C-alpha cells in the first residue's frame, strides 16, 4: 500500500509540475530508477557492483570494439485515439535519426563547437526494425495496441504500458534480444524515460511520448528532430545525464564530459556553470556541453556524444547486455519505404528494381531454401521452397506497390524490399 500511495503522489506531482513549469521534467529515467530502488533496495547494491564492472571494462578494453553492431528494435505503438496511432513512416524516421546520431552522420554535427569536435564520437551502433520474431517468423518490428487509458504517467500504474495485463499495454519481446520501445501518450511535459541496464528484465526498454517520436506526423516543437529517443536509448545503454543529476561535484561517470551544475534548456552556448576539476581537461575550463545528447537542450541544439560516452556504452553492452552481441544481425532488419537496406550487402542480388513482369534474386554464397513475399499489409502473396542459388519470380499479376521479400538460406535470413511498377 505504501508503494502504491507513493506512486499516486508522484504522479500528481509530475502532473502539477508539467502544468506550471516553463521547463518541466523532460526525462523520467532517474525518477524511475529512484522508485525501483525504493521498492527493491537490493537494486542499488546491484548497480554499484555493476558500475565497478563497467569501470573495469573501460580501463582494460578502452577503444577495443572491432565492428559496428546493429540492434533490432521492436516498436510498440500504444494509442488511445487514432491520432496517436503513428504511421510506419514516422517510426522509420526515428530509426533514421538514431542511425545518424549514433554513427555521427547527423547533418547538424557541423554545429559541434571546436572545443568539443575532437572528442565527438561515432558510437558504431546502428538500429533497425526487427524483421524476424523469436520463432523466426517475419515481422515488421511494429506492434500496435489500442488502450482504454487517457495518458500514461510513469507510475500510474508503474510501467503499465509495458504489460498487456488489464488490456492496457503491450508485452515486451525478449529484452535480451531486442530493444523494446513503447510509443504512447505520456503525462504532459514528460517526453520519455528509460530503464537502466541491470534492472528488472520484464520492464526493460524505452518509453517515448507520441509527440516526440520521429521527425514527422505527430511530433510537436521543440521536439521535432527525434532526439528524445537518442537521449533515452543513451540511458538504456548506461549513460547518465551529462550534469550528473546534481551540482558541480556530481558525476556522469565519464571523464571527457565537462561538469555542469544543472540541466540545460534552449541552447545557451555561453553557459559555463562549473570550474573544471577534471584531469582530462587539465588547466582548461571548458563550457557546459549543451550540445550533448544527454543534456536537456532542445532537439535542434543537440548534436554529439563523446568518446568517453562511447566507451561507457560499449562497456555496458559487454558487461550488462552481452547477449545482444550474439543476437544482433543486420540481416534481421525491416525498413519502411522503397530503400531496402540499412547496410549494403553483396551476399544477395535482386534485379531489375523496380520490377515490371518479373525479377531475379540470387544468393552469391548459399542456396535459397525458402522465399516469401509480403505486401504492405503483411499478407503473404508468394511463398516457395527452393534449393538453388537463384530464382526468377513472376510479378505479372501483382499490383503496383512495395513488397517485402524474406529469403532464408541454411545460415542466414535476408529481408529486402522491391517495387513493382507497370505502366
Residue 327 to residue 399: CA distance in whole angstroms: 36
DSSP 284-299: --PPP-TTBTTS---T
Positive/negative CA dihedral, 399, 404, 409, 414:
positive
Cis peptide leading into 157, omega within 30 of 0?
Answer: yes
Residue 328 to residue 72: CA distance in whole angstroms: 7
Residue 133 to residue 178: CA distance in whole angstroms: 10
Residue 178 to residue 141: CA distance in whole angstroms: 10
The secondary element (H helix, E strand) that includes residue 250 is none
Question: Residue 242, Cβ neighbours under 10 Å: how many?
Answer: 26
Active-site residue, selected from the candidate residues 25, 232, 291, 298: 232
Q: Which of these, 35, 46, 7, 307, lies nearest to 197 by C-alpha position?
A: 46
**Does residue 410 carry a catalytic annotation?**
no
The secondary element (H helix, E strand) that includes residue 2 is helix 2-20
Q: Which three cell numbers stand for residue 385?
A: 521452397
Give the catalytic positions in this structure. 232
Amino acid at each position: 500500500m505504501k508503494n502504491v500511495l507513493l506512486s499516486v503522489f508522484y504522479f500528481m506531482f509530475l502532473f502539477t509540475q508539467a502544468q506550471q513549469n516553463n521547463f518541466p521534467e523532460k526525462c523520467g529515467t532517474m525518477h524511475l530508477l529512484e522508485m525501483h530502488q525504493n521498492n527493491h533496495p537490493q537494486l542499488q547494491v546491484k548497480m554499484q557492483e555493476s558500475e565497478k564492472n563497467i569501470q573495469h571494462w573501460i580501463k582494460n578494453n578502452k577503444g577495443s570494439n572491432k565492428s559496428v553492431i546493429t540492434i533490432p528494435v521492436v516498436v510498440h505503438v500504444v494509442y488511445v485515439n487514432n491520432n496517436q496511432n503513428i504511421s510506419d513512416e514516422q517510426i522509420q524516421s526515428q530509426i533514421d535519426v538514431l542511425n545518424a546520431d549514433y554513427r555521427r552522420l547527423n547533418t547538424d554535427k557541423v554545429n559541434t563547437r571546436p572545443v568539443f569536435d575532437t572528442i565527438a564520437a561515432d558510437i558504431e551502433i546502428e538500429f533497425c526494425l526487427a524483421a524476424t520474431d523469436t520463432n523466426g517468423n517475419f515481422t515488421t518490428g511494429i506492434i500496435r495496441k489500442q488502450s482504454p487509458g487517457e495518458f500514461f504517467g510513469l507510475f500510474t500504474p508503474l510501467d503499465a504500458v509495458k504489460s498487456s495485463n488489464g488490456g492496457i499495454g503491450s508485452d515486451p519481446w525478449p529484452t535480451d534480444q531486442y530493444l523494446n520501445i513503447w510509443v504512447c501518450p505520456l503525462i504532459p511535459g514528460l517526453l520519455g524515460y528509460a530503464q537502466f541496464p541491470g534492472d528488472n528484465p520484464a520492464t526493460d526498454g524505452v518509453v517515448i511520448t507520441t509527440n516526440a517520436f520521429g521527425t514527422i506526423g505527430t511530433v510537436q516543437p521543440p521536439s521535432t528532430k527525434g532526439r528524445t529517443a537518442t537521449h533515452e536509448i543513451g540511458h538504456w545503454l548506461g549513460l547518465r545525464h551529462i550534469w550528473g543529476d546534481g551540482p558541480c561535484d556530481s558525476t556522469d561517470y565519464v571523464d571527457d564530459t565537462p561538469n555542469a551544475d544543472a540541466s540545460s534548456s534552449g541552447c545557451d552556448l555561453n553557459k559555463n556553470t562549473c570550474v573544471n576539476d577534471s584531469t582530462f581537461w587539465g588547466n582548461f575550463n571548458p563550457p557546459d556541453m549543451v550540445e550533448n545528447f544527454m543534456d536537456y537542450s532542445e532537439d535542434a541544439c543537440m548534436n554529439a556524444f563523446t568518446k568517453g560516452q562511447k566507451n561507457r556504452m560499449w562497456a555496458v553492452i559487454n558487461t550488462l547486455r552481452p547477449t545482444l552481441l550474439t543476437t544482433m544481425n543486420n540481416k534481421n532488419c525491416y525498413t519502411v519505404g522503397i530503400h531496402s537496406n540499412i547496410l549494403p550487402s553483396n551476399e544477395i542480388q535482386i534485379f531489375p528494381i523496380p520490377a515490371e513482369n518479373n525479377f531475379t534474386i540470387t544468393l552469391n554464397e548459399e542456396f535459397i531454401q525458402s522465399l516469401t513475399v509480403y505486401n504492405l499489409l503483411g499478407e503473404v502473396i508468394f511463398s516457395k521452397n527452393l534449393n538453388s542459388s537463384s530464382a526468377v519470380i513472376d510479378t505479372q499479376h501483382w499490383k503496383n506497390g512495395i513488397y517485402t521479400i524474406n529469403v532464408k538460406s541454411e545460415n542466414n535470413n535476408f529481408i529486402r524490399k522491391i517495387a513493382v511498377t507497370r505502366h
